[in-house]
Amino acid sequence: MKKIDDYKFISTAKGDKGASKNYSNEEFSKSDILFDTLGSIDELSSILGVVYHYTESKDEIRLIQKTLQNIGSLVATSTSSSQRDKLVEISSENIEELEKQEQELLLINEILPKFVLPGSDTSKTGAYFDLARSITRRTERNLVRFIEKYQRNDLSYCLKYMNRLSDLFFIYARSLS
């Protein structure tokens, strides 16, 4: 029978003083843009977990969540780390996949060039996609700040991916009205 001590790995108390470590084992203040960026990626993946239950595009959502996990790992690992070689890089193929999805949706559903209040003229699923889009935009802004602060030009495809992803979510939301 398991005892409560068997679960100590969940609550380590190591971050009680306001610091935490990245995947490269380097310590940062929890107020660092690193954790804002990782938190936004996590929040985005979490809302996509909700979207997953309301959409027919389940495979696409799971693929996006897996790509977000890869982006989070890249952000959380220093370029000089030996762990970096084990990570999945984001490439032009990831971006092309998003663009392909956009084009397929736009062939089915024309989107008129007009201002739209998020969630107001769509289904519940469309409203969730609008929320995912706005979280994606915040994640993108945090990622820009992170790249600028730490000179992480290796994340340029991650940034392009986020930009295309918010476009895709806009299209999804409008396609579901």
Structure confidence by residue, pLDDT tens digits, 64-113: 999 999 999 999 999 999 999 999 999 999 999 999 999 999 999 888 77
pLDDT tens digit sequence for 167-176: 999 999 988 7
Domain hosting residue 124, numbered range: 35-48+58-69+119-177
Residue 86 placed within a domain: no
Q: Is the pLDDT of residue 118 over 60?
A: yes
State the amino acid at position 18 in one-letter form.
G
Residues 6+ apart with CB under 8 A from 15: 30
Amino acid making up residue 158:
C
Confidence of residue 36 (pLDDT cuts 50, 70, 90): very high
Would residue 81 count as lying in a domain? no
Whether 23 maps to a domain, the answer reads no
Domain count of the chain?
1
